[in-house]
Structure 1
Amino acid sequence: MSYVPEDEEAQPLLPTQRTRSNSIASIVARGRSNTISSFKIGYDAVKRHKVEFFSLLVASLILYMGFTVAFLPRTSLSRDFRRFHFSKVTRAETYRIYLESLLRENHAKDHVRNYTEYRHFTGDDHVLQYTLDQLKSYGFSPKIEKYYPWLNTPVDSEVSLWIDDKLAYNASMIEDFLEEDPSSSSPQSVPAFHGYSANGDVTAQFVFCNYGKIEDYEYLLEKGIDLKGKIHIIRYDSMFRGLKVKNAEKYGAAAVILYTDSFDDGEITEANGYKAYPHGPARNPSGIQRGSVEYFTDFPGDPTTPGYASKSPHTKRMSPAGKLPAIPSVPLSGREVAKILEHLNGKGCKIGPGGNIGGFSYYSGPSDPNVTVRVYNEQEYGIQEMSDVIVEIPGILHGNSIIIANHRDSWTVGGAGDPNSGSSILLEIARGFSELRKNGWKPLRTIKLISWDGEEPAMLGSTEYGENHERQLKKQAIAYLNLDTAISGSKFQCEANPLLASVLLSAAKHTPFVGRPSTSLYDHWKETSDLDIGVLGSGTDFAVFQNHLGVPSGNFKFAGNREDDAVYQYHTNYDSYTWMEKFVDPNYELHNTMAIFTGMSALMISEDELIDFRTHAYMSKIRQYYNGWHKMLNSTFPADSKLQTLAGTLSRKLDDLAESESVLFDTHTAQLRKKARKDYPVWLFYKKLIIYFKLTAANQKLKMLDRLFLTERGLKDRDWMKHSIFGPDKYLGYFGDVIPGLHEALLVKDREETLEWLQILCKQFEKVSKLIHL
C-alpha cells in the first residue's frame, strides 16, 4: 500500500507515474480553481472600484433605455387597444376582410331554400337545427336559451254564408295550390288563422267597417249604422290587425273577418292590367294574410308573463285578459270575401275610398236579417317550448355589446321574405365575422348574433330575452340592429334611433349596391328616399330594446315601392322562394347588399374607440316633433297659464340642447376621437392615459343617454312601453310616434296627463343637459 501525501501538487512526479496534467479531472479542477481565482480577483477589483463600477452600469442602462425609447415606434391609443389584446387586424383591415368575404361568395340562396323547406311555426326543430349547424360550421359555439310562452295552435276555422237558414257559401280557408310554386302546395300547408285569436262560434248579420279605424267607426255611428252584435268585416292596410279587432270589439262586434283588398296594393294590381302571381307581379286573389291579433304594439311578449320572462313551464302566470281579443277573428282572401260583401250593396251608407272587390259597391250594411255569416274559430292554447340561438363574439372592451338579430319562425311553409330573407342574411353576417376571426380579429366591443323564435305571435323570443336579461342589457347594450322581412322589394328603408344616423350613413357609403363597385347603397338610398331615416314604431323584435330598455335600435329592409315592384305576398302561402327568385331578388344580390350593410354598421360601432353617436341629430329630431305638439297644446289649452309656462320652459331647454349643448358635445367627442388615433412617443404615455379616461367617460355618457328617457310609469294604458321619446302610434300600431305620451294626452285633451308629461320631460331633458355638459 503506497502512501499518497495530502498535498499532491507539492510532491515531485516519479518517473514511473503517469502524468495527470492532461486528465479530465485535472482539467476540471484547474478550471474551477482558475474561475474561483478570477471571481476573487474581480470581486476585489469591484470592492476597490465599487462606485465607478455601479456608475458605469447605471449609465449603460440609461444609455440603452434612451436609445430604445428614442427609436420605438410612436403609437396611438387606438392601436394600443388592439396590441395589448393581441388582435392582429386593424380597423381598416377589418372592414376590408369583411367586405371581401361577402363579395367573394353569397350563400343566401341556399339558406333561404333550406329555411323554407318545411312549415316552421314557433318552436320548430328543423330551422333550429339548421341555424345551429350553420353557425357551428363557421366555428362558433352557439348557445340556446329556452322559454315557455302560452300561445295557440290552430285546430279548425270556418266562414260560411247563410241565407234563410240555408248554407249558401262556404269560404276556402287556404290558398290555391300552384304547380309553379312547390311551397304553396306543400302537404304541411295550414289553413289560415290568427295568432292569439279567441275561440268562438258566432252566426250573425254582418257590416263592412272599412279599415276598422276609430274614424271609420265614428263615421258609421254618425250615419246611424247598427254595429252591435254584428260580424264586422274589415280590410287590411298598414294599421296593425290586432288594433282593428280591438276597435271592433270596442264598438260591439261579435266576431271579425279581416281580408286583403288589392286596391291597397298601389299600382301593381289586376285592375290595372297586371297578371296575378305566379304569372305576373300582382297579388294572387286567393292569398290570405295570416298574423297575430294579440295587442303586441301595446304589450309584446307572453301575455301571461307581462314584464318578466317565462323561463320555465312552471313560471307563475297572470290572466292574459286585456292583452288579446275576447271575440273570435279569422282572415279571408279578397276572392272569398266577395261572395259575402256583395249582399251589402245598397244597404247602409257608402264608406271608404272604394276598392277592387268584384261585385261590391262598398256599402256598410248591415246585411238583411235573413242573410248571416257564421264564423267558427277553434284554437288550442297551452305552454310551448321555444328556443333563441345566441352567438357571442367577446370584445376587447368588456361591458359593451352590439346585437344583430332576426327571427326564424313563420306562419307558413314559405316565409322567404318574412322572416327568412333576414335569417339568411344573419348567417351571411356570421360567415363574414368568421372570416375575420380566422385572420386574428377580436372586436373592440362584444358582438352578439341572435336568432329569435316566436316573433310572429307576439315578439316572444326577443321580449322574453329582454325581460330576462334586463339589468345586463341596460348596463351593457350599445345598439340593437334588426332584420325582419329584410327583402320584399327594391326600395331601401331604414328606421332608427337618430343616435345611429351617422354610423348608418357611413356604413351605406362603404356598401356596394347589389355588387356594383361604382354605386353604393348610400347612392341608392339618396336617390330613392333622400337618405330618409324613419321613426321606429313596433311590430317586430326591436320593440323590447328601444321601447322597453332604452337601447338605440335600427330596423332595415328592402321593401316594395308600390309603383313597379311586385306586390309582396305577405303572410300568405305565396311568400316563397319561388316568388322571391322570380320577382324580387333572382340572384340574391339585395340579400348580399343587406348583409354587407348590417355587418358593416355593427363593425363601425364596435371598432370605433369612441361610440359614433351624434347627440345633435337626436335633439334636433325631438325638437322638430315637440314644436308640433307645442302648437297643438297652444290651441288645445290656450288659456292654461301653467301648461303654457311649462311648455315654454321645455321648448327653451330643447332649443339649448339642439342648438348649442349637443353641438358642443359632438364637437368634443369628435376631437377626442382624433386624439385617440393620434400617435405619441413612449415618454408621452401619460397623455394617452388622460385620453383613455376621457374616452371612457364619453362612451359611458353616450351609452346611457337613451336610458335617461325611460319612465317607471310607461305610457298610459300600456305601461310596458317605457320610453318617453319613441313608441308605437297608439291607434295605428306599426308606425312610430315621437314623444307619444304628450301627443296622446293632447289628442284626447287630457289636461292632467298633459301636465304630467310636461313635468316628466322637463326633468328628463335636464338630466340630458347635465350628462352632456362639458
Structure 2
Amino acid sequence: MLSSIRSLGVGHFVPFVPLLLVSCQSTGSESVATSETEVATKTVLVADRPDPLGLCHELKDAVQRDSLARLHELVAGRPHPAGSPGDEALIDWMAAYFEELGLEVEVQPFWALLSFPISAELELVSPERLRLPLSEDELEADPFSAHPELDFGWNAYSASAEVRGEVVYANYGRLEDFAELERRGVDCSGKIVLARYGGNYRGYKAKYAEEAGAAGLVIFTDPSDSGWGRGLSWPEGGWSNGSSIQRGSILTLPYYGDPTTPGMPSTEDAKRIDLADIGLPTIPVQPIGWDAAQSILHHMSGPEAPDAWQGGLPQRYRLTGGSHLKLRLAVEQERRIARTANVVATLRGTENPEQAVVLGSHHDAWTFGAGDPCAGLICVLEAARVWAESGVRPRRSISFACWGAEEHGIVGSVEWIEAELEGLRANGVAYLNLDMAAMGMDLRASASPSLQRVLARAAELVPTAGDRTALEDWLERAPGPHADGLPAFGDLGGGSDHAGFVAHAGLPSAAVHAGGAEGVSYHSAYDDLAWYRSVVGGDYASAELVTRMVLCTSTLLANEAVVPLDPARFGPEAVRHLEDLTRRGRETGAFATGGSATDAVALETIDPMLAELAEGLAVHGERVQRLAARLADGSAGLDDERRGAINGLLVGWERAWLDADGLPGRPWYQNLFAATDETSGYAAWMLPALRWAVEQGDGDLVRGQLGRYEAVLDRLEAKADRLESLLERPTSGA
C-alpha cells in the first residue's frame, strides 16, 4: 500500500533519544531513553511472537508519562499553522523522530490552496468610534500568550474586503436561525451579521450569511456556551475569557482536501480548478471574543431576540442594531498554493505487510495546539515509540500518521488517501483518529460498527483508577443501545481526519477521545502548555489512557490471526439508523405518521417504505453473526490459505457500502452508510443517500434511493456467501 516507503530489515530499531533538550516537569515515570543493546535484546522472532492479549499488556505497560510530557513540549512549544515556519520545523522534527525509532518514514509533500492572514480591523463607526480588539490579552499567568509568532484571530478563506453596515444578530447562524429571521421580516441584505459560535461548523454560518445577502459576518464566543456560564475563566479556571477568539476555516465545499484538486492528489504540478469556480467565501468574516461583542450588543436597539437566542452577556440580545449602529469590517488575507506535508511512519508487518492499520492525528494548529491537535498527536508519537522499542513485528503493518493542513479543511489526510486510494480500498484494515484525543479521563469513541467490539475489548484491557477498567467506566457513563454488553458509540460525522477514510475510502474507522476536563481553549491563543497542564493535567494521565487504548486496539487489529472486524454489527446499527430516519421523515413529511413494519424488526418504529430493507439488513446481520461464531470456533484449525482468504474478505467487507456515484450533489462522498451532514458540517448523516431524500420531505425521492441500498445488501450477502463457502471448505490435507 505504501509503495513509496523504503523497506528496512527485521529488528532494525534504534532507541528513542529526545532530539532537543528541553525542561520538563517530572511526572514520576522512568526515563524514555533506552540503549540500543536493550532494544536489540527485546527483538522478537516471528515464530516467537507473543499472543495478542499478552502483547497488549506488555505494550500498554511501556507507555511513559515522562515521554508524553516531553513530546508535548516538543510539538506544542511554538505556533505552527499550516504553511508557516513553525509547521515546516515540526514536519522535519517528526520525520527525524520516526527515523531514530527505526521506522520506515514517508514525508509526503503536497501543494494546496491555503489561506494566510495579512490584516484585519473591526470598529464601531457610530454611535461612537471604537476599534475592537482582534487578539487575546497577554496574561502574566500564561507566558505563551505573549509569543511573537501568534497571529490575531482570523477565519481562513475569508474574502478580502472592507465593508460598512448596520448589524443583524443571527443567534448561532444556523439554517433555521436565518429562516427565523426571514419569518420575522428581518432583512440581512447589506448588513453585517453577528453570530455566536456553536450549533454548527463556522463555515456554514458564513455560507448562510452570504446566501442571505449579508455584507460581512462577525462570529463571537459567548460566555454562556464556553465561558463563565460554564465555569471560571482562564487563567483562574479553564473556560474562555472575554478576549478568547476561536480561529478556524470557513470552507464549505462538497468534498474535503485541497480545494483546487478534488478527488486527485495535490502534487506540485497537479491540474487545478480555477479559483473562481471553487465556491470560496465572497464576504469578509472575522472572529472576536465576547468583550468585543459586548461593545456591539450594548448599542443594539431593535426588536428583542427570542428567549432561546439569549446568550450570557448582561443585556437583552436584539435582532437588529437600528440605523444608528454601524460597523466597519476590513479583512485582508492571501489565498495561495503553499507546500506542507504529511509524515507517515510504518512498522512493516511480517505475514500480511500489504494490510495496514493506521493511527493518525493532524499536526498543524491555529496557535500552539496543545489541545487541538497535540493532545492526540503525542499519543500517536508515543505509540510509535512503544511499538518500535518492543522489537515485535506484527502480522500486519501499522502506520503512524501525522497529517498536514487539517485545520484548513481536512486537507493532508485526504491528499494521502487520494494518492493511496487503490491500496487502501484493497488492504486498509482500519483507521484510528486521535485528533485532540487526551482531554480528560472519560474515554469514549465514535466508530464504524465493525470496530465497536474490538474497541470494547481493548478498553477492557486498559486499567483506570480503583482496579477498574476503561470499559467499566465507559459502560457506567454510557451503556449501549443493544443490550449486548457494549458501550454507546457515537456516529462518525465530519470535523477531523477520519472523514476521508470513512466517506471516501470506506475504511472501518474510529475517533478515540478521552474528555471531561473543565474548560476549553479551542483554537485560541491560550491553547498552550500552560492551559493544558493547569486544566487537563500535568500528570499526563489522560494521554497515557488514550495511548494505552490505541496500543491495545492496534495490537488486536494487527496481530490476531483472524482480523477482529465485526461486520455483523452493521445489521442492528443499520436498523437503528432506519428508525432514526423514520422519525425524521415524519417530521419532514417524507413519511406519513404511524405505520408498521414486518415482524423481524421493531414494528412501530420503521416506516413501511423502509421495512423490507430493515428486515433484510437485520436478517443479514444475524446470518453474519452465526458465521462469525463458526469462524471463532474453528479459527485454530484454519490453514494459511483459508485464513488468508477470510482475512482478505473481512478487510474488504466494508467497501460493499461504497457507490461510485456518491451522494446526490456530493459525488466525493461514496459511502452509503455514513457521511458528514449537509447543513452543520460536524454531525453525521447515517444512511446518507436516504437521509438526503428524507430531508427533502419527498417520499418519491426516498423510493428512488432505496434501490441503491438494496444493491448494497446484495453485495453484503455475496460476501456472506463467500465466507460461508470458505468455512465449509475442508482443511487442506484433511
TM-score interval, normalised by the smaller of the two chains: 0.7 to 0.9
Equivalent residue in structure 2 for 1:376, among 330, 339, 342: 330
Residues 284-317 of structure 1: CA deviation (Å, up to 9, x unaligned): 1110000000115x32111111111111155433
Task: Name the counterpart of 1:38.
Answer: none
Q: Which residue of 2 aligns with 1:344?
A: 300
Residue 74 of structure 1: aligned partner: none
Q: 2:674 aligns with which of 702, 722, 726?
A: 726
- Is the CA contact (8 Å cut-off) linking 2:65 and 2:540 kept in structure 1? no
Residues 182-230 of structure 1 show CA distances to partners (whole Å, capped at 9, x for unaligned) of 2111111110111111111111111000011121111111111121111
Task: Return the offset for 1:577.
Answer: 0.9
2:347 corresponds to 1:399: no
Residues of 1 paired with 2:408 and 2:374: CA distance? 16
Pick from 203, 209, 212 the counterpart of residue 242 of structure 1. 203
Aligned to 1:137: 100
Matches within 5 A, 1:541-580: 541-560=497-516, 565-580=517-532
Give the 5 Å matches for 1:351-370: 352-358=308-314, 360-365=315-320, 367-370=321-324
What pairs up with 1:474-513 in 2 under 5 angstroms? 474-513=425-464
Q: Is the 8 A contact 2:174 2:199 kept in 1?
A: no
Q: By how many angstroms is 1:323 displaced?
A: 4.2
Look at both structures and tell me which one has the larger radius of gyration over its CA atoms: 1
The 3 A distance-change label for structure 1 pair 271 and 451 is closer
Q: Which residue of 2 aligns with 1:522?
A: 471
The 8 Å contact of residues 246 and 287 in structure 2, kept in 1 or not, is answered as yes
Deviations 1:64-123 (CA, angstroms, capped at 9, x unpaired): xxxxxxxxxxxxxxxxxx999545444344223212211x55411111112122110113
Residues 154, 378 of structure 1: 8 Å contact kept? yes
Is 1:291 aligned with 2:248? yes
3-state SS of 1:701 partner: helix
What value does the CA root-mean-square deviation take over the aligned residues? 2.4
SS of residue paired to 1:484: coil
1 CA distance for matches of 2:563 and 2:104?
A: 28
Q: Distance in 2 between matches of 1:129 and 1:499?
A: 36
* Corresponding residue to 1:260 among 207, 217, 221: 221
TM-score normalised to structure 1 length: 0.81
TM normalised by structure 2 equals 0.85
Flag the 1:651–1:196 CA change in 2: closer, same or farther, 3 A.
same
| 1:585 has 2:533 as partner | no
**CA 1:295–1:114: 2 relative to 1, 3 Å:** same
**Alpha-carbon distance, 1:751 to partner:** 4.7
In the TM superposition, residue 626 of structure 1 has moved relative to its aligned partner by 1.0
Letter in 2 for 1:545: F
Matched, 1:717 2:665: yes
- Counterpart of 1:161 in structure 2 is 124
SS in structure 1 at match of 2:709: helix
Indicate conservation of the 8 Å contact 1:289/1:332, yes or no: yes
| Counterpart in the other structure of 1:390 | 344
Ranges in structure 2 where 5+ consecutive residues have no aligned partner: 1-42, 480-486, 599-605, 725-734
Query: Aligned partners of 2:278, 2:625: CA distance in 1, in Å?
Result: 44
Structure 1 position 517, deviation (Å):
7.1
CA distance in 1, matches of 2:334, 2:590: 50
2:591, 2:607 within 8 Å by CA — same for their partners in 1?
no
**Shift in Å, 1:320:** 5.9
Secondary structure of the residue that 1:494 maps to in structure 2? strand
> What pairs up with 1:55-454 in 2 under 5 angstroms?
86=47, 88-102=49-63, 106-123=66-83, 124-163=87-126, 168-265=129-226, 269-271=227-229, 274-295=231-252, 298-313=254-269, 315-319=271-275, 321-347=277-303, 349-350=305-306, 352-358=308-314, 360-365=315-320, 367-395=321-349, 396-412=351-367, 414-437=368-391, 441-454=392-405
Partner residue of 1:762? Answer: 710
Q: Which residue pairs with 2:21 in the alignment?
A: none
* Distance in 2 separating the partners of 1:469 and 1:233: 42
Indicate if the aligned counterparts of 1:303 and 1:320 stay in contact, CA closer than 8 A.
no
Using the TM superposition, give the Cα deviation of residue 498 of structure 1 relative to its aligned residue in structure 2, in angstroms.
Answer: 0.9
Change (3 A) 1:224 1:393: same
Task: Report the CA distance between 1:351 and its aligned residue.
Answer: 5.8
Give the aligned partner of residue 462 of structure 1.
Answer: 413
Q: Write the letter of the residue equivalent to 2:159.
A: A
Deviations 1:448-469 (A, max 9, x none): 1111111110111101111111
Check the 8 A contact 1:98/1:435 in 2, yes or no. Answer: no
2:12 match: none
**Separation of aligned partners in 2, 1:301 and 1:758:** 29
Distance 2:307 2:667 in 1: 35
SS at match of 2:430: strand
Unaligned runs of 5+ in 1: 1-81, 679-687
Q: 1:637–1:485: structure 2 CA closer, same or farther, 3 Å change rule?
A: closer
Could you say if the C-alpha distance between residues 398 and 109 of structure 1 is closer, same or farther in structure 2, counting changes exceeding 3 Å?
A: closer
Structure with the larger helix share: 1
Match of 1:654 in 2: 614
SS at match of 1:623: helix
Distance 1:277 1:603 in 2: 39
Q: Structure 1's 320 and 301: CA in aligned 2 closer, same or farther, altered over 3 A?
A: farther
Contact 2:384 2:400 in 1 (8 A): yes
Other structure's SS at 1:207 match: strand
Per the alignment, residue 578 of structure 2 pairs with 626
Letter in 2 for 1:478: V
> Matched residues in 2 for 1:83 and 1:355: separation?
59
Could you tell me how far apart the structure 1 residues matched to 2:649 and 2:536 are?
Answer: 42
Deviation at 1:493, TM superposition (A): 2.7
| Partner of residue 534, structure 1 | 490
Kept in 1: contact 2:256–2:414 (CA 8 A): yes
Q: Deviations over 1:695-735 (max 9, x none)?
A: 33332332222211112222223221111110112222111
Q: Give the one of 564, 576, 579 matched to 1:612.
A: 564
Q: 1:436 to 1:207 in 2, by over 3 A?
A: same
- Aligned partners of 2:228 and 2:241 also within 8 Å: no
One-letter amino acid of the structure 1 residue matched with residue 143 of structure 2? P
How far apart are residue 587 of structure 1 and its match?
0.1
Contact 1:669 1:698 in 2 (8 A): no
Identity %: 26
State the alpha-carbon separation in 1 of the partners of residues 693 and 419 from structure 2: 31
Alignment CA distance shift 1:214-1:276 (3 Å): same
Equivalent position amino acid for 2:243 in 1: S
Corresponding position of 1:670: 629
Q: For 1:548-605, what per-residue CA distance to the aligned partner results, in whole angstroms no more than 9, with x for missing partners?
A: 1111110011223xxxx42211100111111111111220011011001012111111
